[in-house]
Chains A and B, each alone.
Chain A
Amino acid sequence: MIDADYILNSLTKTFPNDLSESKIESDMRLTSYVEKDAIFNVCKHMLDNLECNHLSCECGVDYPDRNELEVVYHIASYEHPVVITLKVKLPRDDPEIESIVSIYWNANWYERETYELYGIMYKNHPDLKPLLLIDEMLGDWPLRKDYEGFPNKTSKNLV
């Protein structure tokens, strides 16, 4: 039976130096920070050896006071009831990370959206271009906390 314990053991054995602050919340939930260079191999290991075959979401978080951006991966499985949360810290001025589209195909649009809203660059993404925003807004990164769009870049004020 593969549960959160088993997955953490397997991950720490394969990547002894790359995991930190790992926390098992229950049989089904595991949270961990991963080094940014290791995330591709960790995801590959999860898919190939641990049957975690469902990337349920991938998103960004902005922490301006730590001067960091985080990419958060929620990886689940169709075979056993676990949801793994992996987080990667990136520097705010040069956020760049390996794309995982070649492992989980549905990461494609998640990464495009995270790119246009937070400005996180995904290396080796097949087609990194804006998904929901117009091309002219590229570079504004509207979901970063210091975005000052209003009133010049948002919709017009009525009053």
Chain B
Amino acid sequence: MGEVIENVSFTTTSAISDFLKKTPAQDIINWGRKNSLWFLTQPMGCCGVEMISTGCSHYDTDRFGIIPRDSPRQADVIVISGYVTKKYLPALKRVWDQMPSPKWIICMGDCSISGGPFYESYSTVQNIDEIFPVDVFIPGCPPRPEALIQGFIELQKKIMAKKDLGTDY
């Protein structure tokens, strides 16, 4: 038996969502997101070795907020670092599904972009971008850690420009 409150408009979930998406609030959220791109330590091929060394202290990716994580539940970015075999693809999809949104994918190395040295192989999957929403492609066999860092910075630019595929605006 409460009092009747007059002249108060209640917000709804969609109103909150509209406020977040259509006002500069989104820019502030994106600024936070872009500065904490934690990536999943999930090396898949020889590129994975470069990915691991990128996460180590020598290249110091923390200054961009890029930190390697061991669990898909805590990661924002998955780096497809190498060849995807037919046997591994279901597991990779599962890891991707386990990551909480917003999440992004970076394709690292020729293998994940077009097949690379394993082009026309009987056991690998090509055209990863038809399976996952890939934001950044980093060519090279393997790309140097600096190239991977540049890929992350390109992803940050895309997030600020709201051009990324990982979040739906």
A27 to chain B, nearest CB (A): 37
Assess whether B87 is in contact with A150, with CB atoms less than 8 Å apart.
Answer: no
Assess whether B127 is in contact with A154, with CB atoms less than 8 Å apart.
Answer: no
Assess whether A149 is in contact with B122, with CB atoms less than 8 Å apart.
Answer: yes
Alpha-carbon distance between A98 and B86 when the two chains are bound, in angstroms: 30
Classify the interface of chain A: helix, strand, loop or mixed. Answer: loop
Q: A132-B85, A133-B86 are in contact. Are A158 and B122 (CB under 8 A)?
A: no
Assess whether B86 is in contact with A154, with CB atoms less than 8 Å apart.
Answer: no
Assess whether A158 is in contact with B126, with CB atoms less than 8 Å apart.
Answer: yes
Alpha-carbon distance between A140 and B121 when the two chains are bound, in angstroms: 13
- Which of A132, A156, A157, A158 is in CB contact (< 8 Å) with B123? A132
| B contact residues around A157 at 8 Å (CB) | 120
Alpha-carbon distance between A155 and B131 when the two chains are bound, in angstroms: 13
| A contact residues around B118 at 8 Å (CB) | 155
A116 to chain B, nearest CB (A): 10
Assess whether B122 is in contact with A156, with CB atoms less than 8 Å apart.
Answer: no
Assess whether B87 is in contact with A134, with CB atoms less than 8 Å apart.
Answer: yes
Alpha-carbon distance between A153 and B118 when the two chains are bound, in angstroms: 14
Q: A155-B115, A158-B114 are in contact. Are A133 and B126 (CB under 8 A)?
A: no
Alpha-carbon distance between A156 and B114 when the two chains are bound, in angstroms: 10
Alpha-carbon distance between A156 and B120 when the two chains are bound, in angstroms: 7
B124 within 8 A of partner (CB): yes
Assess whether B87 is in contact with A154, with CB atoms less than 8 Å apart.
Answer: no
B122 to chain A, nearest CB (A): 4
Residue of B nearest to A130 (CB): B87
Select the residue from A153, A154, A156 with max chain B CB neighbours within 10 A: A154
Assess whether A140 is in contact with B122, with CB atoms less than 8 Å apart.
Answer: yes
B119 to chain A, nearest CB (A): 7
Q: Which residues of A contact B (CB under 8 A)?
A: 132-134, 137, 140, 142, 147, 149-151, 153-158
Q: Which residues of B contact A (CB under 8 A)?
A: 85-87, 114-115, 118-127
